[in-house]
Structure formats: C-alpha cells, structure tokens
Structure 1
Amino acid sequence: MRILVVSDAWLPQVNGVVRTMQTVVAELRARGDVVEVVGPDRFPTLPTPGYAEIRLALAPRRRLARIVDEFRPDAVHVATEGPLGWAMRAICRRRGWRFTTSFHTKFPDYLHARTGIPKSWSWALMRRFHAAGSGTLCATPTLAAELRGRGFAHVVPWSRGVDLSRFSPDAAEQGAAEAWESLPRPIFLCAGRVAVEKNLEAFLALDLPGSKVVVGDGPQRAALMRRFPEVHFTGWRENGALARAYARADVFVFPSRTDTFGLVLLEALASGTPVAAYPVTGPLDVIADSPVGALDEDLRAACLRALQAKREECRVHAARFSWSACAQRFRDSLLHCS
C-alpha cells in the first residue's frame, strides 16, 4: 500500500508525535508498504511563537498538492492540525478523498495555559478539523471517551509502544556517569519539553527527600533554573544518554495534566524505573492500578509510594506495549476508513 502521512511535527523536531510517527513509518516500510512523510522540512517555514525550534510550513498548499500528485497515495493520514494538516485536509475535501486524522495534543489546553484563549473556542476548531476525516485515531481509552464527550465522531483507539532494546535496565551499566548521579538519593527524574504546559513547577516545588533532575530543554528552562537552583537541569539527552538517565533514576515523575499519552512513561518503565503521576489521561491508561508506580492528586505522596515499586515488575509491564501492534493498528485503520 502507498501511504501518505502529512505532519506538521517531523524531524528534526524532538517530541512524542515525531517519535510515534517515525517508529510507525519504519515498521510499515519494513513490512513492504511504501510510505511518504511530508513535513515542514520541505517548505519555507516560520518559527512557532514561543517555540523557535518548532518550524511551521508557510503557505504550503500548492507545493503540497504537487507532492501528492507525484506520490499517488492509496491512503492518506493527516497527523496534525497545523498549516500542513489544514492544507492536506483541504486537498482531500476538494478531491473527494477519504482520509484519517490523529489526535496527539490537547492544543486547547496548551493555548489556554500560554495565552488565556478560551478552551471552548479551540475545541470547536479542533472538532471541525477532525470531523472532515473518516476516523480520528487516539492513544488511550480515557482520551477516546473525552473526545466523544466533546462531540468528536469516528474515534478510533490506537495505542503506543516502546523500544525494549533501547530502553532497558541494562542501560544503567553502560556509559560514563554524569554529575547528577552523585547527588543525594533518591533521584526523582522528569524528562521532556521544559514548557508551561508540562506543569513542571508542580514537581519542582515538592518537598521530597534526595534530589530532583530534569532532562530536556524548552522555553521555560532558564526561568525554572533561576527559581529552583537546587534542581539539576541536564538539557537534552538522546539515544544512550537518555536511556541511562531513565535506568539510573529511582522514580520517574510525570507532572503533566494535558498529555494525551506520555511515551516517556513507557520508556521509564522499560528501564525498570517506577512512575509517579497525577490520575489523568495517559497515566490512567498506562499505569492504572498496576504496582509499577503511583497515581495521586497529591503528587508528593505518589512520588514516595512509587519508591516501593519493584523495578523488575516495571519492565514486565512495559513489555505489554508493542510498536509492532501499534503499526498494525494504524494500517488497519487506514484500510477500514479509506
């Protein structure tokens, strides 16, 4: 099958959407499908306000139409609601093509946190965008229920996976030690984009024993480093360095209330590190009542309880999530909805 994926989130960006689509595309190609990904790297771009590292395609519709004509897809998936997503949506509607979409990010919550724009306005726009597709893929049952409650139709479950060979307890024994590893134990680690929507302050302000470490970068990093000088900020860590950070921490803390899944949860668990989080979309579906972590509206209590989890059980729990199954579900959805 010739599959066209259009996404405003693509390399060289580093985030969960890119990691998901990159891995699924690799799985599909390995099975023999021809997959073309169209991202902002093919167009003139402008920086996203507040996120200079994220570039958005500028007036992409004509050039995108030419790319589509050259590729001749059997199925089209629109992964994001940015300029490329809207342009591909318009092309499909004009030509009478069916297409699927996916819901990765609660932009209404993000925009409200950063600008104060009423959530209802943004949710109405998101609902309109996805209503044009024949199926909206989303990562968890909790998110699916929320979307249906907000008036989204044709919601299709589509879980995630984790690379068990990359993220493993064995990573703790590989590579040199970093400065933060000599800090007092236990080490409470948080990894991801350092931005207001990730709710990092809820973690950084906690009165916890041991030390706090933040792996990642973003627009809020400098301000948070000034406010919390006792916290160790490492900056971005990728590949082996990120895997080592997960494996060498004592608890992974996920303070976000707006993520739709949280790939980092699976990466930490695969590394043998228990999770502490709020009982919200993502953690509710990945952790639930499993003994591999703790969910609590009192995040400090969750952090302390997570210390009691058995690391070997964390690894076993993560192994239930397969990228192979994720890719198959994606392909099946294209066939069913196209």
Structure 2
Amino acid sequence: MRIAIVTDAWHPQRNGVVRVLASLCGQLERLGHQLLVIEPGQFRTIPCPSYPEIKLSLFVAAGLGQALHDFAPDAIHLATEGPLGWAARRWCLDRRLPFTTAYHTKFPHYVRARTGVPLSWPYALMRRFHAPSAAVMCPSPSVRRELAEWGFVNAVEWSHGVDAVTFHPQAKDFVDLPRPLFLYVGRVAVEKNLPAFLSLDLPGSKMVVGDGPARAGLMKRFPQVHWRIANGDAELSRYFAAGDCFVFPSKTDTFGLVMLEALASGVPVAAFPVPGPLDVIGDSPAGVLNHDLRAAALAALDIPSASCRDHACRFSWERVSAEFLALLAPTGRNAGNAG
C-alpha cells in the first residue's frame, strides 16, 4: 500500500509524537508498504511562538499538493493539526478524497496553559479540523471519551507501542547519585506540570532528562535537581534504566509514551490517576496512581522490575501498526489524478 503521512512534528524535534510516527513508519516499511512523509524539513519554516523548537511551515500548499499528486497514495493520514495538516486537509477536501487524522496532543489544554483562553475556543478549532476525517485516531479510551464529550463524533481508539529492544533493563551505575533515583524523561514545558514532581519531599535524588522552553526557569527554581540531556537513544535508554522510579506528573498527555519506555526499562511508574496514566498503567502491577504523587512515588519503589517489563511488552508496534492499517480510508488510487 502507498501511504502518505503528513505531519508538522518530525525530526529533529524530540517529543512523543515524533517517536510514535517514526516507530510507526519503520514498522510499516518493514511490512513492505511505501511511505511518503511530508514534514517541515521540506519547507521554509519559522519558530513557533513560545516554543522555538517546533517549526511552523510556510507557503506549503503548492509543494504539498504536488508531492501528494505525484505519489498517488492509496491512503492519506494527517498526523497533526499544524500548517501542513491544514493544507493537506484542504487538498483532500477539494478533491473529495477521504483521509484519516490523529489526536496526539491536547492542543486546547496547551493553549489554555499558555494564554488562559477558555478551553472551548481551541476545542472548536480542533473539532473543525477533524470533522471531515474518516477516523480520528486516539491513543487511549480516555482520550476518545474526552473527545466525545467535546462533540467529536468520529474518534476511534488506536494505541501506541514501545521499542522494547532499545529500552530494556540495564545496570543502574550509569548514574552515580544517592538512591533512590526518582526520574522524569521528556519535554520540559509548562503543560508537563513538572513542579508537582520537583517540589516533592523525597529521599535520594531527583533527575530530569530532557529539554524544552521551561528548562532554564525550572533549573533556577529547583537547583537541587539533577538536569541532563541525552544524546541519542542509546544514552537515553541508559538514563531510563538507571532510575528507581519514573515520576510522570503531567495531567494533559493523551498517552505518555515515556511511561512505556520506563516500564520497558524495568522502572516502575508513579503518576496521577488521569487520562494517559490510567490507560498505560491502569490497574496493572507496573505502577502506582495516586492523587498524592509523593505517596505514589514511594510505593512504586517496591514494584519488581520484571512486572514493569512484562506490562510494557504488551504494547507491541506490530499490533499498533496492524490497527493503524485497518483504520485507514482508501482513496481509490485516484489521488494522483485529481489535479
């Protein structure tokens, strides 16, 4: 099958959306599918206001349309709601071609966190973007229910997977700090609610591995925390495995892939009982969910590494890719002839 994937999130960005899409594309190619990935690196871009690591593509309509026309895809998937996603949506609608979309990021909550606008405003924009989609792929049952409450009528479940080869239990001596080591890995941004973790009174050490717009301010506010940036997945996997407890304080993630990467590394998770953690951890023995995050972190220390690894290995990319293929909307191979 010839599959076009349009995304505003791609390398060299480091975030969960990029990792999900890159892992999906790798698995689809191994299955023999032909892929066209349309991403910001193919266009002129400007930094996203308040988040310069994210690049917003400019003047994309002609180039994007020509690429889709030439590729003649059997299916078109719009992974993000940025400039490329909107341009591809218009191209498909003008030609009456079906397409699918995905809801990877709680964009309305991020907008509210940065601007204070009512949630209803950005949700109205998201509803408009996804309304013509044949299926809005959601990473968890909780997110699908949330979208239904906001008036989305075409949301379907599509889980995510973990690379259990890259992320696996390893020696903990990669990090030489007082134990236990409470760890967070991921973007350092306001919506990740990191102060809820960093302000906890916990024994041992706290470490944050990652970068983002809130990093400099949080480093000054929490000088006792150890801050690192990983260079490549091999080093990242060693940081994950070095932890004794992975603390995930976010209340706005649609899934939280880093929790699976921690679990695959044999590290238990402590988190709030909210969408994302409820779907990844649930009532499994791999983590502790509690509105008291300190209590959750301390209790998680008693969880065996094997229980974490076993739970993570249930989330295979083979299954996720099969679900993705089943949800795609065939174009009828007329996309290349639609002008």
* TM-score category of the 2 structures, normalised to the smaller one: over 0.9
Q: State the distance in 2 between where 1:236 and 1:218 align.
A: 13
Are 2:310 and 1:311 aligned? no
- For the 8 Å contact 1:134–1:337, the answer to whether it is kept is no
Give the structure 2 partner of residue 58 of structure 1: 58
Are 2:27 and 1:33 aligned? no
Q: Relative contact order, CA 8 A, sep 6+: which one is greater?
A: 2
Provide closer, same or farther for how the CA distance between residues 116 and 83 of structure 1 changes in structure 2, counting only shifts above 3 A: same
| Offset from partner CA, 1:189-209 (integer Å, 9 cap, x none) | 000011101110110000111
- For the 8 Å contact 1:253–1:275, the answer to whether it is kept is yes
Give the structure 2 partner of residue 278 of structure 1: 272
Of 237, 250, 253, the residue aligned with 1:259 is 253
Give the structure 2 partner of residue 172 of structure 1: 171
| Offset from partner CA, 1:17-67 (integer Å, 9 cap, x none) | 111111111111111111100001110001011221211101211111111
Give the structure 1 partner of residue 237 of structure 2: 243
Give the structure 2 partner of residue 68 of structure 1: 68
Give the letter for the 2:5 counterpart.
V
Structure 1 residue 246: Cα displacement: 1.2
Structure 1 residue 238: Cα displacement: 2.9
| Offset from partner CA, 1:64-85 (integer Å, 9 cap, x none) | 1111111111110000000000
Give the structure 2 partner of residue 86 of structure 1: 86
| Offset from partner CA, 1:108-134 (integer Å, 9 cap, x none) | 100111111221100010011000111
Structure 1 residue 237: Cα displacement: 4.2
List alignment gaps of at least 5 residues for structure 1. Answer: none
RMSD of Structure 2 on Structure 1 (CA): 1.3
Give the letter for the 2:42 counterpart.
R
TM-score, normalised by the number of residues in structure 1? 0.96
Of 297, 311, 322, the residue aligned with 1:328 is 322
Give the letter for the 1:172 counterpart.
A
| Offset from partner CA, 1:94-118 (integer Å, 9 cap, x none) | 1000000000000110011111122
- For the 8 Å contact 2:272–2:289, the answer to whether it is kept is yes
Query: Counterpart of 1:182 in 2: which secondary structure?
Result: coil
TM-score, normalised by the number of residues in structure 2? 0.95
Q: State the distance in 2 between where 1:330 and 1:55 align.
A: 26
Are 2:101 and 1:101 aligned? yes
List alignment gaps of at least 5 residues for structure 2. Answer: 333-339
1:71-220 alignment runs, 5 A limit: 71-169=71-169, 171-172=170-171, 178=174, 181-220=175-214
Query: Counterpart of 2:328 in 1: which secondary structure?
Result: helix
Give the letter for the 1:317 counterpart.
H
- For the 8 Å contact 1:59–1:83, the answer to whether it is kept is no
Provide closer, same or farther for how the CA distance between residues 57 and 39 of structure 1 changes in structure 2, counting only shifts above 3 A: same
Provide closer, same or farther for how the CA distance between residues 106 and 223 of structure 1 changes in structure 2, counting only shifts above 3 A: same
Query: Counterpart of 1:247 in 2: which secondary structure?
Result: helix
Structure 1 residue 236: Cα displacement: 3.5
Structure 1 residue 337: Cα displacement: 9.2
Structure 1 residue 241: Cα displacement: 1.1
Give the structure 2 partner of residue 48 of structure 1: 48
Query: Counterpart of 2:291 in 1: which secondary structure?
Result: coil
Give the structure 1 partner of residue 337 of structure 2: none
Q: State the distance in 2 between where 1:337 and 1:273 align.
A: 43
Q: State the distance in 2 between where 1:290 and 1:81 align.
A: 33
Give the letter for the 2:205 counterpart.
S
- For the 8 Å contact 2:74–2:330, the answer to whether it is kept is no
Q: State the distance in 2 between where 1:336 and 1:116 align.
A: 40
- For the 8 Å contact 2:188–2:212, the answer to whether it is kept is yes
How many pairs does the alignment contain? 332
- For the 8 Å contact 1:217–1:236, the answer to whether it is kept is no
Of 284, 287, 311, the residue aligned with 1:293 is 287
Q: State the distance in 2 between where 1:248 and 1:52 align.
A: 30
Q: State the distance in 2 between where 1:78 and 1:286 align.
A: 24
